Amino acid sequence: MANIIFKQGEARTLQMILKDDNGAAIDLSSVTLFLGVKKKKSDTVYIFSKDDADFEKGQAAIGKISAFLTKEDTNQTPGLYVGELKVCWPGTPATIDKSADLTLIIEEAVTA
Answer whether residue 112 is part of any domain.
no
- Residue 41: exposure state from Cβ atoms within 10 A (0-12, 13-18, ≥19): exposed
Please, what's the largest Cα pairwise distance for the chain?
A: 55
pLDDT confidence of residue 3? 84
pLDDT confidence of residue 1? 55
Instruction: Round to whole Å and give the CA distance between 53 and 63.
Output: 17
Helical spans, DSSP H, in the chain: 71-74
The per-type count for the chain, helices as H runs and strands as E runs, is 1, 9
Return the SS3 of 90.
Answer: coil
pLDDT confidence of residue 5? 92
Answer whether residue 103 is part of any domain.
yes
Instruction: Round to whole Å and give the CA distance between 33 and 6.
Output: 21
**Running along the chain, 112 residues long, what does each successive block of 10 average in pLDDT?**
86 91 91 94 94 96 96 95 90 74 84 64
Q: How many domains does one find in the chain?
A: 1
The structure's pTM equals: 0.87
Answer whether residue 9 is part of any domain.
yes
Answer whether residue 46 is part of any domain.
yes
Enclosing domain of residue 36: 4-107
CATH of the domain at 69: 2.60.40.10
